[in-house]
Amino acid sequence: MRHAARIFLLLTGAALLAHYLPLGWHILTAGRQRVPYVYYGDTGAGFLFTRVEKAGGDTRLIHTDAAGRALERDTFESLLPLTFHAQLYKTGAMPKEIGGVAVTPGALRREQFNLRVRPDQLDTPLVPLHPVFETDNGRARLEIPPDFMRINGAAGVADAPGPGARRRAIEFLDPKTNTILPEKSALYTDAFARARFVFPVTAAGSNPTARKPYDEGIYLADAEGQVFLLRQARGRPGLVRVADHAADPAAWRALRPRHIIVNEIETRELRALIIDAGGKPWLAVGENHRLVPLPVTRYNPAADTLSLRGNLLHRLLVVQTAAAPGAAPALEAVALDRDYRVLDRHHETLPDPAARPAARAGRVLFPLAWWLAGDTSGYLGFHARVTPRDLLPAAAALNALLLAAHLLILRRNKTLAPARLPDLAATAALGLCGLLPALLLPRAG
């Protein structure tokens, strides 16, 4: 027991130090990762950037073009009239048309959108209850639905409530009474059965807010990977298989969605952003749900951030990739026309925060670091990093020094015994994080 207790204390101490010491080191030494903000010129200037430049101890914003030439702020803004329209209207420099397209404040507002997909947004705790908005409630504004839909996933139909009754596949819950609405549940269960929806739901996407111009509905992928669109009009369900109404039904049938993101914009151009089982992003656009593959060269939805911005003239796709084994963090921007054809591409490698001298020193000092809260998931989980291969000799040398010191201390205290092997192993493997608890631990006998 006492040896087990001692080893448990040693492991706990080493694990806690491997958590807190690298965290403290990071807080003391980490700098801000300066990611440039990318634009695509509205008047043929190509990619433009706002960067943070460090000059001495000071930082300042600089505006540059794709060649890296610094631009005056006024010049920069005049190249991006659709972005800085408020300033250009104020100075009277706003063009009336660009490339034959009339520019009006109403059109500017209507056509502008910004859709951003972060990894933690795709892996986050959710209560599986969906508010089903009225797509056509006869009112000027959307209203928050008075009930919530629960998808049980078991296609059972109960005619009468009772102990022997099976749950309905779809249940509507009334928050006022905290009870199931039997009629509406039956209506929706029938709609799912009629549409030949195969339970369970494998992906669902909707935008559960009333602060949007209209309601797109709820996209649901069934067990066979088929995508359905559920809408409610005046209390009646409408569930359709998207492939049956799409311009490219074969592509929809082959799609195996893992994540579906819905973000309604006033022009109703964007239907959904879909990330398939292989991590490839697709966009469903237009009235006939045309499926457009987003032309990014590297995107891992579990680690990278993707954003799609649009305006009157073009779309800009930006992917910020995190550092991966053998690949530095990078920024990829793809300018698309309004028909989602590639106009231009930009790729740049971002400075790797892990390559900074202080971060590298941290990886030598602490061969193992772990943390619970990551920026890639809404859940707490065990995330760990070990010393990279190029720093292993340095880390091993430091650990060897610490091990020698540990041996000397044990010899001086006349406590060098086989019972100390776990302590020495902890120092050899974890360096400082193993040595400190080993020295502070009580003796077992």
Instruction: Summarize as ranges the residues that interact with other proteins (CB under 8 A).
Output: 1-2, 4-6, 8-9, 12-13, 16, 19-20, 124-125, 127-129, 131, 144-148, 150, 173-176, 178, 208, 372-373, 378-382, 437, 440-445
Whichever of 208 and 353 has its CB closer to other proteins, that residue is 208
Which string of b and e fits 170-207 if b means at least 16 CB within 10 Å?
bbbbeeeeeebbeebbbebbbbbeebebebebbbbbbb
Distances (CA, A) of 182 to 134, 157, 196, 238, 381: 19, 11, 21, 18, 39
Q: Which residues pair with 330 in a beta bridge?
A: 321, 349
CA–CA dist 262, 218 (Å, integer): 8
* 89 vs 379, beta carbon nearer other proteins: 379
Distance CA 1, CA 210 (A): 60
As measured in angstroms, the least distance from the Cβ of 419 to other proteins is 14
> Are 64 and 48 within 8 A, CB to CB?
yes
Q: Which of 321, 330, 296, 314 is nearest to 46 (CA)?
A: 314
Token pair for 403: 């091990």
Nearer to other proteins by Cβ, of 87 and 207: the residue is 207
Nearest distance in Å: CB 149, other proteins: 12
Q: Which one, 28 or 144, has the nearer CB to other proteins?
A: 144
Dmax over CA atoms of the chain, in Å, equals 88
**Cα 209 → chain centroid:** 19
Cβ-based nearer residue to other proteins, 9 or 392: 9
Please say which residue, 288 or 415, places its beta carbon nearer to other proteins. Answer: 415
| Least distance to other proteins, CB of residue 36, Å | 31
106 versus 125: smaller Cβ distance to other proteins: 125
Q: Please state the closest distance from residue 181 (CB atom) to other proteins, in A.
A: 12
By C-beta, is 138 or 445 nearer to other proteins?
A: 445
What is the DSSP code string of 371-395?
Answer: EEE-TT-SSEEEEEEE--GGGHHHH
Question: For other proteins, which is the closer residue by CB, 32 or 443?
Answer: 443
Residues 335-339: contacts with CB within 8 Å, 24+ apart? 335/40, 335/47, 336/295, 337/313, 338/313, 338/314
Whole-number Å distance between alpha carbons of 42 and 61: 21
Looking at the Cβ atoms of 357 and 445, the one nearer to other proteins is 445
- Cα gap 311→110, rounded to integer Å: 8
> What SS3 class is residue 84?
coil
Question: Cα separations (Å) of 435 from 16, 18, 358, 362, 413?
Answer: 13, 11, 22, 16, 15
Dist CA 247 CA 175 (whole Å): 39
* Residues 412, 413, 419, 423, CA torsion sign: negative
Nearest Cα neighbor of 65 from 76, 81, 52, 56 is 76
- Nearer residue to other proteins within complex by CB, 116 or 253: 116
In the complex, least distance from residue 24 CB atom to other proteins, rounded to whole angstroms: 12
Burial class (CB in 10 A: 0-12, 13-18, 19+), 135: middle
